[in-house]
A and B are shown apart, each in its own frame.
Chain A
Amino acid sequence: MNAPASFDAQSGSGGERERLIVIGNGMAGCRAIEEVLERDPERYDIVIFGAEPRVNYNRIMLSPVLAGEKTFDEIVINGQDWYDKNTITLVSGDPVQKIDRDRKMVVSVSGHTEYYDRLLIATGSDPFIIPVPGNDLSGVVTFRDLDDVDKMLAAAEGGGNAVVIGGGLLGLEAAHGLSLRGMNVTVLHLMPTLMERQLDEAAGWLLKEELERRGQTIRIGADTQAILGKDGHVSGVQLKDGTEIEADIVVMAVGIRPSTGLASSAGLDTERGIMVDDHMVTSDPAIMAVGECVQHRGACYGLVAPLWDMCRALADHLTDQPSGYEGSVTSTKLKVSGIDLFSAGDFSGSDGSEDIVMRDASRGIYKRVVVQDNKLIGAVLYGDTADGNWYFDLLKKGEDISDIREALIFGQAFASGSTSLDPNSAVAAMSDDTEICGCNGVSKAKVVGTILGGATSLDAVRSSCKASASCGSCTGIVESLLVLTLGDDVEEGAKTMCKCTGFGHGDVRKLIVEKGLREIPQVMQELHWTTPEGCSSCRPALNYYLLCAYPGDYIDDQQSRFVNERMHANIQKDGTYSVVPRMWGGLTNPKELRAIADVVEKYDAPMVKVTGGQRLDIFGIKKDDLPAVWADLNAAGMVSGHAYGKSLRTVKTCVGSEWCRFGTQDSTGLGVKLEHMTWGSWMPHKFKIAVSGCPRNCAEATIKDFGIICVDSGYELQVGGNGGMKLRGTDLLCKVETEQQVMEHCAAFVQLYREEAYYLERTAPWIERVGLEYVQSKLFDDPDALGEYAQRFYYSQSFCQDDPWAKRADRERADLHSHIAELRPLALEPAQ
């Protein structure tokens, strides 16, 4: 130590230079030292403690090492020569176990002691281990340092099965590496979207598709129950739903926690991380902290970019030229070769933010930028990330983007082009032979010709020359051409489903079936939705269309359902619920009535009422009591009446031939049979049936969706009635002779309505729109059609005729009905 004495006199340990001790030989610790040396190489006497038995390396490159794209030597940042050259003492493989602030010293596990004038804590993070049985078995590894990578590589040598718990950045990089190393990989992710913190549903879905295409198994919504073992080594993973997955190695990548143990036991202020000010100083002025272990202005970081800023501020402070750190905005990329993904900022959307979305299904591209107050606040890019840095820059600088707003989503080249910023001008500049519609091979000249030939709306263009009629990705361009060619004379097209899409309900239904689209995010990507996740209009509609198209296969998306359909009861103005059990055909008996009476008393229901649908409605049930109420009703043989659903509601009947002196047929019995056939079905809107025993029509069958008037010679089948907001009497569909025929016609009609009506369109407006003749021709022109529609209905019913109440009464989804906890403020006050 022959360096000239520094000007600072108050050195603590007798040396001439101040002693700076660093705990943590990782990315932040060493970077901080590099920055200090750059400013003032003579100032400090430096000792670095590292728990890992090696020199400073680039941790983020562990993923390429695992994937076999890099070796360890290639990712070393500072080799031993760096420490030597700068006379830094490295104590590696020997973690510090105690900080003694009174004596200003640190002690390592092996007993190595060093005194400090200044201490820097850069202990990084610890992987979070989920508290499940078996998490300590051998073969359960984390992904944090080189030792973890070595363990994974050793496991991968034997091939076999790997389970990665956690579908975030780290988990997916681990999965990718293990998969390239020849293992059969399953990723378990608790949330519905992969990398949900960085990606929205649309991008998460594209990523999942791609990883599955590459042979990985991705299970979303997978909640780990236990890690299973054999002879002390991991053998599999068990999920809460009972599934077991074989595993030779389990990688736990569910998140990280700032490593604060050492700091908090030394009495430094810690919350999630070690609390630091803008100069990275902790609650002890002699102790600083940087990196993932700190909490600065409420934020903890898990990426390297913020660390560089922290290290700059720290070095400025340590060399008496304080500058201060103000927090960072971060961006994410996934280091999986061949997958381009970028995200930055806030895209949770609220408070006046607006999304601009661009999708290109044929090239697998999804781009979304979020704008608020004329500033870019977030971006998610999938498939084409070339503009990521440009967006990130706009975001960090908080630049006003109002001038380039229209062109923003097309990227830097376009938005900052010297020509006009109007996207129409780019279309105008296209040559006449440019192919506009790839699906149908239509050129620009042809589209313009079609428009000049009289096609003045998008729909007219679609039907005349087929441009934009298939996948719809060129819709925007066709619309621009309409504007360029016609100016203000463009006609508004047919109503679109909602503001998220250019397609109407009919097109969406048709395209779902034609293209075999099977999930909501897939529909949105393939049909170029202009919003990231749809809205409260299109989501329930798409959920229904998919449910109808793929009975038994499609998994209902509960988040796309209105509260009543999620709770299986009707919400009331005071937040309680009403409960309507089914009374088949309006019939009841003492046992049912007693059960209802008991429920009313037992749960203190303030009111019970006979409904307009011939059954009883119990009002004022609390959401926590619902499962118990249902259990009691189930016990008396009653099931859900679906009074809350877009589904079959009631089958109203009259007494009919069994008692009535005018009755011509057994209307009551037929009603009961019809209700047993149709209950539980999901429909575009609610659906009501009635059977009257004679033309006096006491069951009001002629204002129902499907009404039956019994006559001496058989049954008149009536359709499309509505007694609601707009009164409409039914149309006569046909007359049949037997009950069996009534049943089959009813099933066929319901199925035609289910397959063709728009969501939230009842039979009355549907028939007004398509015409009775259309319905008749669909059902009767082809002699096989009726039977086929009916069969499709029966098939679909085979999946939905189980009582939704029974499962809830059995405590399925108990979380929907119970409080998370209860706060009793006094009891919780800390004891004095």
Chain B
Amino acid sequence: MKRFLIPLSCCLLSLAACDWRVFNDFERQATVQVIEPPRNFAGTNFGQAVAPVLDENGGIVPNTFLAGGNGTTPLAVVTVSETGAISRKTCRIDAGISVSSITPLPAKNGRWRALLSDGNYQMANLVNFDPDEDEPKLQVEGNLSGLAQLFGIGTLHGDFDGDRTPDVAVASRNRLYFFDEALQTAHQHIFDYPHNFFVPAMQDAGTRILAPVVREGKILLAIGGMISNDTGNTTWAVLLVSVNPGFTFETQVLQGDFSNPDARVCSLATGAANDDANDDLVVGICNETLLFLAKTGTTEWFSAQPDRVVAEDGKMRGRIVALSDLNQDGKPELAIADPEEPIESNRNGEVLFYDLQISADTPLLQLKAPKEEKRFGTSLFSLKTIWKDGRTELVVGGANVSYLFFLTGLPGDDDPVLHDPR
């Protein structure tokens, strides 16, 4: 009897057992990986600023990005493995800073580099670190502070003047600074905005108001802000700046109607929306998004009037904007995030995708916030991956996490089940 009972109970157990490991698989198979702050990330708003990492040739390091937030150790390196698993490393820094924007710089001597703007827009730090360390320590290469109001509200890296040496552009409220990569003030160049143009404060972290526009092989700088008229009325405006050799400048201003007072640029995105080689400009003016297609053969780079407007009554369809070819069809989709739905809407933010080839205002896809998320869509970032020939995936910022969306399900996207690249 004893011999019989023990195998019987074992059989019962084995027959009835539920396999909880299937949920571990689900966690790995989830089409949205939730990227929480690393364990020793001492800060908040993790992911409010995200940026890729550049290798020594200036190319994007796939499957990797930097995520910044507020706090004493506000920067983390996030790596997505080929199995879909996420690993995060916190970068240590001696002095506590906050990271409101990150501009990657090409790596040097095996160390990754980035220009970090602080949350008060008083300072910009050029840091580097060894990515192979378990907890990389940030080393400050250069530091700039106190040069102008809202200094560092936007930063860019590139060869803007065409002299084949990389420059660093730092936007402030009223002017644009240009430095060499070593951030030496001795070699700085300043471009003052037109007198009625300025960049307002109170920008959301993670928004981009300084964006590069590639036009005929040359990088233009697009600065989002506001413009006022003689009567003191203001409206949104985008200042386009072309830097000529010797740091002479050409500009074009795109602006709104003064009948729409207090409109401002919340976010800018650039990329090739159509088949020409020039980047097009997407301007989020908080409640609507305007698409300006690059013009060729004229002195104006863009038409004064937008080529397309995305708007919806009562909705903020222009807070965070991005262009990204998420479905690998060679044409980018427009992504618009609104992290701050009205409280009465009982929603916690959303991300909408629009096909720029179709003029309809109906979004292709709507990503809803997960249950616990309160501010879904604080940032949008296209992560370059090595899967499927370098396809991009979408990283959406949340209140204190980032969401990595695999296979968003856009038309043309792969079948999530059959063609999961992982």
Do these two chains interact?
no
Binding site for A on B (CB under 8 A): none
Binding site for B on A (CB under 8 A): none
